[in-house]
Structure 1
Amino acid sequence: MDERSVLLVLHDVAPQTWADYRPFVAAVDALGGVPITWLVVPEFHHHEALTAHDDFRRLLDSRVAKGDELTLHGYYHCDDQPAPRTPKAWFMRRLYTHEGEFYQLRQDQALQRISDGIEVFRRYDWPLQGFVAPAWLMSRGTRQALRQLPLTYTSDPQHLYRLPDFTPVNAPGLVWSARSAWRRGLSKCLSDRREQRWQAAPVIRLGLHPVDMRHEFSRRYWLETLQRLLNAGRTPLTKAAWLATQP
């Protein structure tokens, strides 16, 4: 069997969410040799920009030095555009998520926000290869903007896309909806089935969110799943490192 990998990805990384992630990251570090991809939001929900949190920035500095990857994850991670006007837009922006920051941005708006995020990474000397839109939602204008920027990949729940051409690379991912007990139960059932189906897949992504860390049931699932995939012989890599191994 060809070498198989597992990618551990933390979404919505910001000073406000670090308290949720801290115990889990400590548990992962205790396993030894598991790099993490951190999806960093420069100014989460328009509050407390990274520039105001020296300690948190130093933490991210230390993770880069450790071999982890930092990825740009939107800029504000909230939908701050005018109210939706169609049933589809209302469903996507009010029922599916309130955080689809790039769902309807024009090209110039998306270009400005992503460029501002790139500048934050440059300011702190953080290597940057990838951009992930909040909730994986991207307008046509966002896709056009990404074709103009010095980034190598973006992603959706089941693929990575090489930029600037959006060449798809299959990369199936597990992700939970953990806001309520019934959602957590359903998420576990679906994830268990998908993990079984993807046993021979070259890669499995584990996409964690801060809310997952607030419930012992989901937090334990992610740690046990990571350990199980490692014990099955999967090599832990960051997203950029794994993509670099693909033809």
Structure 2
Amino acid sequence: MKSELNFKVIHEDGRTFDMHECGLWVESFHIYSPNAKRTTSENLNSDGERVRKSKQGTRPVYTSYQIESDSLYDFDELKHLIFSIFYTNQAFEIIRDYRPDRRIFAMQEGEFDINNITPVDGEFDLMLRMYDPNIYGETNEMNLTTAFSSYEIKGQKKTQWSSRTVFSAAASQFVLENNTGGRILLKYNFIAGDVLEIDYKRRKITRNGEDLAVALSMSSNWFELQPGNVQLKASQATTLTYTERYY
């Protein structure tokens, strides 16, 4: 029998730990609400304060477990396996069995101890922290053409994107834009077969794997993708990829 709250931990190097297979029964798994961070200033002529800036802070994740083993040796081995699963220098990915279409990235916060119920059985609570507060969904691709077309952006939050363009013919520039003022303009003499890749998150632009940031026009206006219907086009056939974000 497996806990309904069972999940997998995936380390940065690809190692995967299924809690059930490792001998852990997941008792609790609670992702806290979005952590609202506000920068405010006093209203001089009225009550209250004015919100100047809002952002989402880090989020705690409360988890608890039961473990059992057949001997003191096995219990000690399991304890140190648990330590190695949750103590990492980089955030690990968590995918819950009942929501395989959602994932979070978290790290152990503070320390924890395993309380013995018997010499070979125990329980413990563990606090994790999502330093990236987003819950991620599916990764989707959209095929952009030279005319504005409508695309449905899934998720609840605006999200970042990357694009890949293979030039079918020579061109003196490249444009990728939406219909609300977002626009990436590159001025460069591209040739047929050139592969252009743009990464919004890193503000990275490459041609055939080589940096091409110098081609970015000052008139460009980087944009994220808003959930819902958006209009997009590119001056060359382009594949745009994004990952859904949720609260």
TM-score if structure 2 supplies the norm length? 0.22
Question: Larger radius of gyration, structure 1 or 2?
Answer: 2
What is the TM-score normalised by the length of structure 1?
0.22
Q: Which has the higher contact order (CA 8 A, sep 6+)?
A: 1
Higher strand proportion: 2
